[in-house]
Structures are given as structure tokens and as C-alpha cells.
A and B are shown apart, each in its own frame.
Chain A
Amino acid sequence: MAETLRRVLNSGSAAGPAEESTAEAGPPLLLLGGPGSGKTALLFAAALETAGEGQGPVLFLTRRPLQSLPRGTRAALEPLRLQKIRFQYPPSTLELLRLLCSAHEARGAAPSLLLLDGLEEYLTEDLGPQEAAYLAALLVDTAAHFSHQGGPGQGCGLIVALQTQEEGDSGDAQPLALLQRYFPAQCWLQPNASGPGQHCLRACLEPGGLEPRAEWWVTFQPDGEMTVTQWPTQAGDTGSHKGSSSEGQS
């Protein structure tokens, strides 16, 4: 699933070549970042990206309706693309589980992308590790079923956004380690120095497997516009330094 996100991030930066869309859905991806780090905006951009590829619809799950449509990098909110994004708002963990368990009963074209925003809202305290694992596993299973339904070349990707703890809060790492079992690919959004009015983040994509890691700068202007530039030192990756800094925060 890293491919879709990579395309979203690359499409905003001049350096990024327009990559061919691949039918390969890739492993499920977990999008991690603090409050207000642009997770929803990136998910929405991924939804628009996929909706424009002549593929099936996009299923966007979130507990709360979006307050406003995030402004994409292309700012192209084509109605035809928007129409292919189906929003559903499960109000509770049980309702989310019910939706996933019954996903095969839905009629119509199988989604090409399954998105869940705000997983933390469903990982409530009374949810034990096994139930949390079941929720993660069901997300993967639902996307796998959509892939199967779509037939060859019509895989369904899966991206789930999870809000990480505030810095300084040494929340237990247990849920994250558990989730990483089911989401081999991860993208971290880390705040960087912000200018007046604008908000700057570093997006670090670890696609899982043998794929190399990639990084971008993501900047949100005061009006909400998102601009993306490729991390300049991507080619000469000094793995040890960056590796240790990201591990320290995970």
C-alpha cells in the first residue's frame, strides 16, 4: 500500500517522476502521527489518487464526518473522483467490527482502497490485546476479501491512520507492536520546525520488506493547502543516523 502513498507524496514534488499506477496493492500500511499532523489530509489525498485511476470505489471509514474537505496537493476535487469515495461512520468499536464482519454482504463493485481514519478512537481501554488484534486482522481480512472479489489486477489496498501519543507521554508500546504485526508498512509523520502560520512535517515511509525507506517534507499553509517536497538527501541515505532517531521516538 506504500505505492499509493508514495504516488500521493511524489505527485506534489517536482522531483518525483509520475509513476505508473501499479495494480499491486502491496502490504497494509499504518499511517502514524501526532494530533494535527495531517493524517486525514494524506488519507484523503490517497483516496482521491486511487479514485482517479479508473479503479473501483474507495471505502473511507472514520468515526466523525470530516469537518471540511482537506485541500489536496493538486487541489483538484473533481466531482467524479469524489463520487467514488464512499464514507461510512461507524459510531462504536462494535459497529466497526460489524461493518468489517459483514463486508462481504455488500453489493456492488469491490473497493480498490480501504481507509480507516482515527483507529485510536476504536482502540478503547476495555478492548483487550486479543480484541485489538482481531480488529486489525479483520481490517486486513476485509481488504483481502475485496481483493479476491475484484479479481486479478484489482487488488484492494489498506491504509489505517493511528494517532500516536503526545511526546513526553511514555504510553505503553504494546498496542503499536501488536498493530505492526498486521501492518508491515508504516509511514511516520513527525513535526518539524514550523514557520509563522505554516506547519511543517517530515513524512518517513517504510514500505516493509526490502523496499528502501523514503522521506518527504509536508508543509501545510495557513489556508490548509498541502505542499510536498522530496527529502533532499534521499539518495545518500545515512541509514544509521536516521534509523536511530526514528527508533527513539517509536
Chain B
Amino acid sequence: MAVAAGVPTLPAVVEELLSEMAAAVRDGAPISDEHLLSLKFVFGSSAVQALDLVDRKSITLISSPSGRRVYQVLGSSGKTYTCLASCHYCSCPAFAFSVLRKGDSLLCKHLLAVYLSQVLGTCQQLSVSDKQLTDLLMERTQDA
């Protein structure tokens, strides 16, 4: 439901899979093997890595009093990546290469982890000031 609200960015089959998983979670059921296999089928090795990020609670939803939100994902290498909440964007190199340049992936593992943590309701939450959120968004542009 909360997945990619607004701008349709994911293929219908992925949206469907995620909302099925969300429905299962709401009913208190564990994620079925069938869903896991589907994830693996659509996203390949990224699926396992993304689930690993979710397990380690590496996804943080950062929000400010203004209501603006952004996700941060602590990657396995210890680096932190920024994912926008409203559309597909992640600051990691894999997103730049496989998604933007080559176009052979739908998502990087960080974005997938964000969607999965939304579905599973396992995001860490952090409140910051409006100014701090600006700095966080600007960080991306300084090392450019």
C-alpha cells in the first residue's frame, strides 16, 4: 500500500508481489517461501542481500517536522546511502551503473530493502530538524 505511493515506478508484477506480502504481514502470517522465491526470481541475488539488510535493521526512515521524509540505508560495507521516499533514487554506485546507465536492473538492493522494510514494518525511525534534513539531502551533492 505504502509502496511507491504516487508515482508508479515499479512494474505491476512487483507491485503485486509487494502488496501480497504486505497483506500477509497484516494478517500476522510469516513471509511464505513462495514469496521469497518470487523475490529471488525477479531480483536475483539482490533479493537475498536486501532481506539481509532488513534483518539487520539497516533501514532508517528520517523525517523532519515539515513532514518531508528520506530513507537512509546502512550498506554491508558500512557506507550509508540515501534513498528518496517519493521516487526511485539511491545514491549507491550500483544504482548509477546497473539501473541508470545499463538499465538491466529495476532496483538496487538498498531500494529493495526500503520497500521490503515498508512491507514488513521494520523501518527504524529518526526525527531530525528541518535544517538537518536539508543538510542530509545536500550531502549527496557535495561529493559530486
Contacts and interface: CB of A to CB of B under 8 A. Distances in A.
Nearest to A181: B88
A150 to B, nearest CB: 11
A105 B96 contact: no
A131 B96 CA distance: 9
A178 interface: yes
Given A133-B89, A133-B100, A134-B140, A141 B67 contact: no
Contacts of B141: 94, 97-98, 101, 131, 134
A104 B85 CA distance: 14
A141 B103 CA distance: 22
Interface residues of B, number: 29
Interface string A131-144: 10110011011001
B71 to A, nearest CB: 11
Contacts of A209: 8
Contacts of A144: 6-7, 85-87
B84 A137 contact: yes
A130 B100 contact: yes
A27 B8 CA distance: 9
Contacts of A27: 7-8
B134 A102 contact: yes
Nearest to B87: A140
B89 A131 contact: no
Given A140-B87, A141-B86, A149 B66 contact: yes
B95 interface: yes
Contacts, number: 88
Given A94-B141, A101-B137, A133-B89, A148 B67 contact: yes
A129 B100 contact: yes
Nearest to A128: B144
* Contact count band on A: 20 to 34
A46 to B, nearest CB: 19
B29 interface: no
A12 interface: no
B39 interface: no
Contacts of B103: 177
B68 A134 contact: no
A140 B87 CA distance: 7
Given A137-B89, A141-B84, 12 more contacts: A102-B137, A129-B96, A129-B101, A130-B95, A130-B96, A133-B100, A134-B140, A141-B85, A145-B86, A178-B100, A181-B9, A181-B100
Interface of B: 6-9, 64, 66-68, 84-89, 91, 95-96, 100-101, 103, 130-131, 133-134, 137-138, 140-141, 144
